[in-house]
Amino acid sequence: MILLAVPAVALTLFSVAAFFGRWSWFLDVAANFRVQYAAVLTLLAVWLLAARWTRTGSVVLVGALVNAAVVAPLYLGGPPEAAGGGETIRIMSFNLLASNESFGEVINYIRQEDPDIAFLHEASRPWELAIEAADLEYEVTRSRSEELIFGTLVLSRPGDPVTSYGFTTGGARAVEVVHDGVAVLGIHPLAPTTSRRSALRNAQIDFAAAWSASQEGPNVVTGDFNATPWSYPFRKLLAETDLVNSQRGFGISATFPATGGLWSLLLRVPIDHLVHTPDLVVVDRRLGPPLGSDHFPLVVDLAVAG
């Protein structure tokens, strides 16, 4: 039983250390797996307690409950009953995966969902050509600069103002679309695979926070954040603004990796998000099929709060 107790305690301590991701990019990456920690530690705790390793099992059970406690709020609450009764705005965010060639499937899905705004991340030149040739009823905005392999492709209703922001470092872009008085910022920060890239990702999410704070009306930030709700930059984004996580009441909605078999399913985490100001409410929130990508598309319907 000692061979079970030692890794159980080690995993408990590691999951607690992951709360200190502000000071370590590696620990911040580790914070993304709260659901997995809660599940594995619960199984280990039950096993240890059944074997009458009461003290060790109790410590591991506390670790499981701590991790579960930060996941549980995603299942609580939800949209208010009064949503104003006005028009809704449908927003779609989808990381296409640059090497994905399922052009027809994605285009048909866009036609089916008919979003008012769609942000297509990792759109390479073939994707730009395919979307522009599809004769969709949108204005298409490219944000990719020539030195980059891919960027964010934006589909917006004709006449809606579109503004592209270039970050000074990291090669990332943020694109703003205003539809029916709601300002929407699409972002795709870098993946935090190194200390430097993690710092750039955090700075890019900080930009989104500053952008939201500068807006005078209802606004939304959406995209592939490359961060889960439990990571430091996401928690900081919500703490420094009045933005609300649209996952509230809708559960985990893990979006990546979408393909790859059993291990993909076990390691799946929610890194594609939509956060909004309190004067908006979520009418519906759902994930679509992967459509050849390693992400699930996120589609959210919003309305002005009553």
Q: What is the DSSP string of 183-243?
A: EEEEE-PPP-SSHHHHHHHHHHHHHHHHHHHH-SS-EEEEEE-SS-TTSHHHHHHHHHS--
- Same domain? 47 vs 148: no
- Can you give the pTM of this predicted structure? 0.92
**% residues pLDDT > 70 (the chain):** 93
Q: Are strands 173-179 and 162-166 parallel, antiparallel or unpaired?
A: antiparallel
- Same domain? 46 vs 150: no
Residues 224, 228, 229, 235, CA torsion sign: negative
What is the reported pLDDT for 9?
92
- Same domain? 52 vs 188: no
- Same domain? 176 vs 257: yes
Domain that holds residue 134: 88-304
Q: At which of 75, 100, 121 does a domain end?
A: 75
Q: At which of 75, 97, 119 does a domain end?
A: 75
For residue 166, give the CATH number of its domain.
3.60.10.10
8-61 pLDDT tens trace: 999 999 999 999 999 999 999 999 999 999 999 999 999 999 888 889 989 999
- Same domain? 35 vs 126: no
- Same domain? 49 vs 97: no
CB distance 182 to 302 below 8 Å: yes
Q: At which of 75, 101, 117 does a domain end?
A: 75
What is the reported pLDDT for 264?
79
- Same domain? 192 vs 51: no
- Same domain? 199 vs 282: yes
- Same domain? 174 vs 51: no
- Same domain? 163 vs 229: yes
207-260 pLDDT tens trace: 999 999 999 999 999 999 999 999 999 999 999 999 999 999 999 999 999 987
What is the reported pLDDT for 124?
86
- H runs (alpha helix) in the chain: 2-17, 25-30, 34-50, 54-71, 103-113, 125-133, 195-214, 232-240, 262-266
pLDDT at 82 over 50: no
Angle at 159 between CA 155 and CA 161, to 5 degrees: 75
Whether residue 82 is contained in a domain is answered as no
Structural domain total, the chain: 2
Average pLDDT of every residue of the chain:
90
- Same domain? 64 vs 99: no
Whether residue 81 is contained in a domain is answered as no
Whether residue 71 is contained in a domain is answered as yes
Whether residue 83 is contained in a domain is answered as no
- Same domain? 119 vs 173: yes
CB distance 15 to 67 below 8 Å: yes
